[in-house]
Chains A and B, each alone.
Chain A
Amino acid sequence: MTIQFKKETFRDDFTFSNSPEAIRRFPFPFDKDQYMYAVNIEQHMPGPEKSPYEFPIDIDEHYVAEMEDRALVLKQDPLRCQSLPHMITAEWDLVELLMESMAKNYPEHFQLTRDGDRWHWVNQPLGIDQRFTFGDTATLPCPPMEYITRQCQGDFNLLDQRHDNLWMDAGIVTTQADWSLDFDIGMNFMEWHAPVPIAHDLGVFDRALKFLLNLQQGRPVRRLNWTMTINPRLDTSPENYHKWGIDRTTVTPENVGNKVHLRVELQALWRLPRSNAIVFSIRAYLIKMEELVTIPKWARRFHRVLRDLPPELADYKGLTRYRETTVDWLSKYDDGAPTSPGFFPD
């Protein structure tokens, strides 16, 4: 299975789009016609063929373009990638997890050869051929977490576990929905979730933390989260709010289909073997409204979810300014027919 990598941008002229195959495999996050917070965590087991859950790490047609966008972000703002000194063992754990998974599931694009500590990594789409000594940072062109995450779609955070809490002590974050690693680094699980409304009262974070503290090696878990983004911009960071915040005022009934995007995060968590740390990966998928409505079930359902969303959730997700315009546009694709259960297209 060879992936045709697209040439496209996530800034300036925004040439990003999804192929029909990419639309069909989009991780649509609603299994019902309404949405509320839940601890929607499930085992990160292999899912249906060609779905984004088929393999632990999903590589798709946007891979090369996303890696180019990440390099641009890091060039302008090196603080998007940070790691506290005690996380170096976890960094190497992450190198192993990502290289093993990518080489095993996409052998036509990535190859890994291991001879004890001497490793040989080949990344064909990005033209990389690297020999290095596992565990010896000096043998890589940059620190291990940065090295491998410049070659893997999705943001990655490494959470240290101590004092019955999780601490965000390392990460690379360039495709985020308005949060900042530079601000959150060193915070614990309760601290970095503090701004989320409603969920605290539901006890969601207490339960999620207890669950994650017991996350086992070999049993990764995943969940979906979602928001919306105007223009297919991956880097919607607080640092760059001045560049993208104003986009929210540019939505008109005429441009909803092309400008408004559903943004879904496939979040996965793995227990790492050597460090006992947890990897928290956040992989963002974007889909335009005009792409979304090509799946009739998703058009009906998303119209209903967005229309009936509690106002405090809409505010927190930053949708308030363009929600009504978008709901009006989507209503043309909702004939009121019942929708089938589950996430997948009919």
Chain B
Amino acid sequence: MSGGVEIPVRVSRVEQATATVKRFSLEAVSGEPLPLYSAGSHVVVTMAAPDRKIKNPYSLIDRAPDGSTYRIGVLRTRDSRGGSAFMHERVEVGTELSITMPVNLFPIVRTGRKHILVAGGIGVTPIYAMAEELRRQNLPFELHYAMRDAASGAFADELVARHGDKVRLYRDDAQEIIAVDRILWRQPLGTHLYVCGPEGMIDAILAGGREAGWPDENLHSERFMAHVSGEPFSVRLAKAGVTTEVRPDQSLLEAIEEAGVDAPYLCRGGACGQCETAVLEADGELMHHDHFLTEEEHASGKKIMTCVSRLKGRELVLDL
């Protein structure tokens, strides 16, 4: 099973939220309401670039009450393989894209007594949706949002307007940092923490949580990997009888798709496990970048997550 249901959408609005973040409103080409979803969900957006199809996951910020639009936020990144640059440079009002049904790999734990939301930079997009859902259900929460400077807080004003003093803002340029030990201090039992942001920030917040004695079950994070580029290598798909090259600027999964083979995937971010594929032979070293397989599975060399991982070497043979 691969991506599943695809929904053709059209861009109905583009906002330049900050110097580096654009927000896009998407409406269904059919005019039908877009599906409901739970906070923390993302969709995979397919962009038709002239030479290839680019697929990137983006968290859903919100859905218009009548279902007419979704909003996503896209940061222009320097190391982009083309997706964010394409969204920033080529996508305008009227552009047609395709999205998957919403998938939630970062859900609110409904048994939680209180919820602490922590966002850094563009990581605010799923956090924005979670705050909105918690507000709607009248559940206790607080939100901590770190940004480079006042001008780069893409959602700061909207968040403060909606949630008032539940929101605490931190600016890097004013040396304001999220003091995780202070936040976690004296939270009620059954509190859950959710963090989305740059890799280093997530690691620091989670480490702080563990140091404060919090159980792993109460600490949640969403990471989407961006750095899947690397050296080129060749991949042979044993069942399909196809051999193809994986270019430096594309993922293994994208190369498989380009070769016309329908391989399984869901999150395209190394988190969900759907694209787990058996490795038959590897002439080189497997570079695992996923968060799904265990260390032992990585070491075994028998499995690979095609969406983010690749080979440093000559040829990889997969059971596809």
Contacts and interface: CB of A to CB of B under 8 A. Distances in A.
Interface in A198-250: 210, 213-214, 216-219
A218 B4 contact: yes
A217 B35 contact: yes
A75 interface: no
Nearest to A167: B111
Contacts of A274: 36-38
Contacts of A210: 273
Contacts of A160: 110-111
A86 B104 CA distance: 18
Nearest to A221: B1
A86 B110 CA distance: 6
Interface in A274-321: 274-276
Interface in B261-320: 266, 272-274
B107 A216 contact: no
B266 to A, nearest CB: 6
Given A86-B111, A161-B107, A163-B217, A216 B38 contact: no
B38 A276 contact: yes
A85 to B, nearest CB: 9
Contacts of A87: 110
A217 B274 CA distance: 15
B110 to A, nearest CB: 4
Interface in A120-168: 160-163
Interface in B1-19: 1, 4-5
A257 interface: no
Given A160-B110, A162-B107, A275-B38, A216 B217 contact: no
A39 to B, nearest CB: 13
A162 B111 contact: yes
Given A162-B110, A163-B217, A273-B36, A216 B103 contact: yes
Nearest to B276: A210
A210 B276 CA distance: 11
Contacts of B109: 162-163
Contact of A214 (B40, B110, B273): B273
Contacts of B83: none
A87 B217 CA distance: 19
B5 A273 contact: no
A264 to B, nearest CB: 25
A271 B113 CA distance: 24
Interface size band for B: 20 to 34
Interface in A251-273: 273
Contact of A216 (B4, B40, B111, B137): B4
B225 interface: no
A277 to B, nearest CB: 8
Tell me whether chain A's interface is mostly helix, strand or loop, or mixed. loop
Nearest to B267: A214
B101 A217 contact: yes
Contact of B101 (A43, A216, A275, A276): A216
B123 interface: no
A218 B5 contact: yes
Contacts of A84: 111
Contacts of A162: 107, 109-111
Given A275-B38, A275-B110, A276-B38, A219 B5 contact: yes
Interface in B219-275: 266, 272-274
A326 to B, nearest CB: 38
A214 B272 contact: yes
A43 B4 CA distance: 11
Contacts of B1: 43, 219
Nearest to B37: A273
B197 interface: no
Interface in A84-98: 84, 86-87, 89
A43 to B, nearest CB: 8
B107 A276 contact: yes
Contacts of A213: 272-273
Given A162-B109, A217-B101, A273 B38 contact: yes
B121 interface: no
A274 B137 CA distance: 12
A15 to B, nearest CB: 43
Contacts of B153: none
B206 to A, nearest CB: 15
Nearest to A186: B111
A36 B266 CA distance: 30
A216 B266 contact: yes
Nearest to B264: A214
A89 B37 CA distance: 12
B102 interface: yes
A119 to B, nearest CB: 15
A214 B101 contact: no
Nearest to B139: A86
Nearest to B7: A218
Nearest to A276: B38
B110 A216 contact: no
B17 to A, nearest CB: 27
Given A43-B1, A160-B110, A273-B35, 7 more contacts: A89-B110, A162-B107, A214-B274, A218-B4, A273-B37, A275-B110, A276-B38
5 contacts: A162-B107, A163-B217, A216-B100, A216-B266, A276-B104
Interface of B: 1, 4-5, 35-38, 40-41, 100-104, 107, 109-111, 137, 217, 266, 272-274
Closest 10 CB pairs of A and B: A86-B110, A273-B36, A276-B38, A218-B5, A217-B101, A276-B104, A218-B101, A162-B109, A216-B4, A276-B107
